[in-house]
Amino acid sequence: MPPDSKMPGRSLLPASLVLVLVLAVSASVAEKVLQIPLLEVGGLWVKATHTATARVAGYLTSAPDLTSAWTYVRAAILVWLGYASWAFFWRPLNRVRKLGDVGYVAEGSFSTKETANFIQRRRKNGEDVPPFYPNGWFGLMESFCLKRGESQALHVLGMELVIYRGQNDRAYVLDPYCPHNGGHLGVGGRVVGNCIECPFHAWTFRGEDGKCVSIPYMDTSAKIPTNARVKSHITTELNGWIYLWHHAEGLEPTWSVPEVEEINSGQWTYRGRTEHHINCHIEEIPENGADLVHLGQVHGPVFAAGVDLRTMWSTFWSFAQHHWSAEWAQCPQPDGHIGVVKLKHGLAVFDRMFPMLDLDVTAKQIGPGIVYLYFESALGNGVYLQHVTPLGPMHQKVVHDIYVSRYILPPVAKFYMLGEALMVERDVMIWNNKQYMRRPLYVASKEDKLVKKHRDWYSQFYSRQDKPALRKDNTLDF
């Protein structure tokens, strides 16, 4: 039984809480900013609502004049408004920000994207950068991105791959270049049963082991050569995600991706996603979870102040502030590959805290690129799934999906997702422009000690001999 369902009538709670919040904020704004008594504001609201309702009711109850073109124009507008309202409030969020969309400051007469390119090329990271592709499970894509019988080319972890879903609904990942004459299985390759057929001369490869099982034009007396095969990669699929195991030395998985029971049992519902492309070393992103000082600095100003670090301190938004407190610790063995961040969030408006906006978050960092952020709020519980996947050196794809209990209405869940995205975009501005420092200048403090502890924990995901590729001028090769 979901924990929320123990409380009958709780479905009324969110609406009441939102109403109380709106009234409280109205009261503060009215009294402190506009200096209008609350009763007067209330009266204006009631009057305006009454007039609007009467107008709509009158329009809906009057018989439509089918001979007038205006009737059809109005009907079309109403249909459009209905669709737009549904899309705005109910359709799951899908916010995608590619490289150069956020987190850069345009230089001179150059565009933000041009600036992003310059910064990518001229950034120096020194020789001592850890490997770009740590060892562990990485999220490739949400399950809904790959339909049965579909194949796609993939570029992740510096590798070219093909992913496809067989008729048995299983996702397979193979090296894409056909051993016959180099055709790319992910570009035009057809799924045949649980195999994939090369688009060039129709050699067919089995997903389980990458072996060629059919060469349609070969002499019937001949045997398929034993080296007619491609590498098959280790995958798993759960929590609505397809995962790939990566190990620089080719070792088998030493841990597995844990299940989020509420997702797989259907207790929590999908309400949206965000996708950010970021220009930094992968380790910078999870390290944020143990960096307590940055919470107040980067995430203190209220989310409405925007994602630009230069303008978010505007006094206009200073009436509201986020408050954070956090701790981070590594789990004991055999779960040493998991780190846990305990995070408490509060929002102060005119120095008054609003407990209904409190968020208690337990973020489980599972290996180098997966985080489950479980949250509890007055409106209900849920989880953000965060998947950080390096596509190339210093290029991370970060996807957040939100799943919530049924008591959180879709617009509220979308609001939570958007709030998280805006906070991430402030981090993106730091990550896109910073330098990876192997040895930061730590000072005596529990905060810097914790960052160091996180680095020690994360180092278990690197193979010693796995060196990043450097260009001759000692910069990273993009």
User: Cβ closer to ligand FES: 50 or 201?
Assistant: 201
Query: Which 123-182 residues touch ligand FES, going by CB under 6 A?
Result: 178, 180-182
The two beta strands, 232-233 and 212-214, are: unpaired
355 interface partner picked from Fe ion, ligand FES, none, CB below 5 to 8 A per type: none
**Minimum CB separation from ligand FES for residue 181, in Å?**
4
**Minimum CB separation from ligand FES for residue 272, in Å?**
40
In angstroms, rounded to a whole number, what is the distance separating the alpha carbons of residues 146 and 64?
46
User: Cβ closer to ligand FES: 157 or 230?
Assistant: 230
CB atoms within 10 A of CB 183: 19
Stretch that binds ligand FES, among 199-207, 289-297, 325-333, 383-391 (CB under 6 A): 199-207
**Minimum CB separation from ligand FES for residue 225, in Å?**
13
**Minimum CB separation from ligand FES for residue 145, in Å?**
25
> Do the beta carbons of residue 372 and residue 363 sit within 8 Å?
yes
Helix (H, G, I), strand (E, B) or coil at 108: coil
**Minimum CB separation from Fe ion for residue 39, in Å?**
42
In angstroms, rounded to a whole number, what is the distance separating the alpha carbons of residues 418 and 93?
8
203 interface partner picked from ligand FES, Fe ion, none, CB below 5 to 8 A per type: ligand FES
288 interface partner picked from Fe ion, ligand FES, none, CB below 5 to 8 A per type: Fe ion
User: Cβ closer to ligand FES: 10 or 180?
Assistant: 180
**Minimum CB separation from ligand FES for residue 179, in Å?**
8
> Do the beta carbons of residue 388 and residue 286 sit within 8 Å?
yes
Binding residues with ligand FES: total (CB under 6 A): 9
In angstroms, rounded to a whole number, what is the distance separating the alpha carbons of residues 227 and 142?
33
User: Cβ closer to ligand FES: 190 or 323?
Assistant: 190
The answer to the question of residue 198 lying near ligand FES (CB under 6 A) is: yes
The answer to the question of residue 203 lying near ligand FES (CB under 6 A) is: yes
Q: CB-based contacts of 110: which residues, under 8 Å, 6+ apart?
A: 118
Query: Which 427-446 residues touch Fe ion, going by CB under 5 A?
Result: 427
In angstroms, rounded to a whole number, what is the distance separating the alpha carbons of residues 20 and 378?
13
**Minimum CB separation from Fe ion for residue 329, in Å?**
18
Tell me, residue by residue from 315 to 354, as one string, x for binding to ligand FES by CB under 6 A and - for no binding. Answer: ----------------------------------------
289 interface partner picked from ligand FES, Fe ion, none, CB below 5 to 8 A per type: none
Q: Which of 437, 356, 345 is nearest to 23 (CA)?
A: 356
Nearest 10 degrees: Cα torsion 188, 169, 209, 461: 100
**Minimum CB separation from ligand FES for residue 231, in Å?**
15
Burial of 410 (C-beta count, 10 Å sphere; 0-12/13-18/19+): middle
> Do the beta carbons of residue 410 and residue 437 sit within 8 Å?
no
List the structure tokens of 58: 């009158």
Rg of the chain taking only CA atoms, in angstroms: 27
**Partners of 397 in the beta sheet?**
277, 389
**Minimum CB separation from ligand FES for residue 147, in Å?**
23
The answer to the question of residue 288 lying near Fe ion (CB under 5 A) is: yes
The answer to the question of residue 183 lying near ligand FES (CB under 6 A) is: yes
Stretch that binds ligand FES, among 44-52, 76-84, 194-202, 344-352 (CB under 6 A): 194-202
Tell me, residue by residue from 234 to 273, as one string, x for binding to Fe ion by CB under 5 A and - for no binding. Answer: ----------------------------------------
In angstroms, rounded to a whole number, what is the distance separating the alpha carbons of residues 478 and 326?
35
Burial of 128 (C-beta count, 10 Å sphere; 0-12/13-18/19+): exposed
Q: CB-based contacts of 333: which residues, under 8 Å, 6+ apart?
A: none
Helix (H, G, I), strand (E, B) or coil at 230: coil
Positions in the binding site for ligand FES (CB under 6 A): 178, 180-183, 198, 200-201, 203
Residues that bind Fe ion (CB under 5 A): 288, 427
